[in-house]
Structure 1
Amino acid sequence: MAKGKYAEWITEEGLIKIEGWARDGLTDEQIALNMGIGYSTLQTWKKKYQDIQDSLKKGKEVVDRQVENAMLKTALGFHYQEEMVTQEGEVVEVTKYNKPNTTAQIFWLKNRKANEWRDKQEVEQTNKNIDITLGDYDDTD
């Protein structure tokens, strides 16, 4: 029975489920479990059936973009609406501000502009004929 099981997943409905699970952030291992197959079987099917590979990729791209957008929004700061209850019991909408997140800014810059922002900087030595001798150094003068 397992031999023909792939057939239900290469249908339009099956591919939509796979894409949705990927979009929801499930790992390939979790998706395989939802499909009732082993992780290695899913890996084989991804190589054998392009539609399965495409559905996983399409679903993951959507959620990756959402996370990227959320991180950028957090890094820059943003205004948002929130409902609050007044002392009189009225529900009012209030505009609040979420200030920029320094950690998100650092993460973004280290990944997007690594040459300028990474912790370890590569320094090229241009003069290789420097003679450093410590000898009889006396700093008491």
Structure 2
Amino acid sequence: MQRSQVKKWLKKDNLLILEGWKRQGLSNEQIANNIGINRKTLGQWAKKHAPISNALKKGKEVTRFEVENALYDKAINGNVTAMIFWLKNNWSEKYNDSKLSIEEKEVMIIKKKKLSADMRIAEAKARLLEKATDASNERLEKMLSILEESAKEEEEQE
């Protein structure tokens, strides 16, 4: 049955279906499932049959470049929508829908990093406090205070 099935998938129409599935973002395992075979079998087919291998590759890689090139050509030839789309995706630091200035974005990134660090410290503190005995609790509190002061100093230096 495997041989007759691979012959079916070597036909032009079915190779186009393979390319389409890959373009849609399906994994080889999902494609194999659609065909009704094991992922390893699909891999063997791709090794033994160049058209299947090419269809799987083209669907994913070549198509991206074909679309990208077509978009670029439209943008260069004056299609305003294509120009906007291309600029937003390829020069996002200048062309984006954000109302924030570059400086405001940098401040947001710093605040996000600080919040993340504060959360990690709080989580570590909670874990340590749960495990700590009364005798070690005092030392732990001192160590955490030192870490918090160090983090504040680093923040002020930024």
Q: TM-score, normalised by structure 2?
A: 0.44
Q: Which has the higher helix share?
A: 2
Q: TM-score, normalised by structure 1?
A: 0.49
Q: Which has the higher strand share?
A: 1
